């Protein structure tokens, strides 16, 4: 199952294609730093206009890089809030249009919940790499997550140095 994700909540236009809920096939981001930098912060109206300029090429590139066509998609996910209303409208309208034209389901994603899930997914990747590297006598990713939810404390505390190294290796592509 392939899902196209579209994100236009603030000052970056982004699109990604994800397969089976965890494999990122492509991720394209168009920054608006040059536009907003001279004002010392994000100007909402300018952000919306930049999203209008960038949305089509960003989505096309994400699909192209993932070797995915619209017919290969199972759904489209789009940020629905909270953030800049005008910026969100660009992404939501574009996603809805594709869904309507292709008969695809639309998945609304809460911006804040998306950040939380990204942290959980990244932590699970680090733990899974640690298990592969050091053996399964270490605690599993699911055990760590369950422990964190039950104990409301950082379950990676004992592994903090190893986790930092593993995360750095992941970021370097090792």
Average pLDDT score, the chain: 81
For 26-58, how does the pLDDT look when each residue is reduced to its tens digit (9 = 90+)?
999 999 988 888 999 899 899 999 999 999 999
CA 28/CA 20 separation, integer angstroms: 19
Q: Which of 157, 129, 153, 154 is nearest to 141 (CA)?
A: 129
Q: Which domains does the chain have, with CATH numbers?
A: 2-104 (3.30.420.40), 114-172 (no CATH)
Kindly state the tokens that stand for 168: 């750095």
- C-alpha triplet 109, 64, 49: angle, nearest 5°: 55
pLDDT tens figures, 69-106: 999 999 999 999 888 999 999 999 999 999 999 999 99
In the chain, where does DSSP find H-type helix? 33-37, 44-65, 85-102, 111-134, 141-151, 160-172
Rounded to two decimals, the pTM is: 0.72
């Amino acid at each position: 199952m392939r899902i196209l994700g579209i994100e236009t909540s603030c000052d970056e236009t982004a699109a990604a294609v994800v397969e089976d809920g965890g494999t990122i096939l492509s991720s394209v981001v168009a920054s608006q730093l040059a536009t907003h930098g001279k004002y010392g912060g994000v100007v909402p109206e300018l952000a919306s206009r930049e999203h209008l300029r960038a949305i089509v090429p960003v989505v096309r590139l994400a699909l192209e890089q993932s070797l995915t066509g619209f017919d290969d998609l199972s759904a489209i996910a789009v940020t629905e809030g909270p953030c800049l209303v005008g910026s969100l409208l660009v992404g939501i309208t574009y996603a809805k249009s594709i869904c309507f034209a292709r008969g695809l389901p639309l998945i609304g994603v809460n911006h804040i919940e998306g950040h939380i899930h990204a942290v959980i997914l990244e932590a699970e990747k680090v733990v899974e790499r640690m298990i592969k590297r050091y053996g399964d006598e270490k605690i599993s990713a699911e055990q760590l997550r369950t422990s964190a939810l039950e104990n409301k404390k950082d379950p990676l505390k004992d592994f903090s140095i190893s986790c930092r190294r593993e995360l750095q290796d992941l970021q370097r592509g090792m």
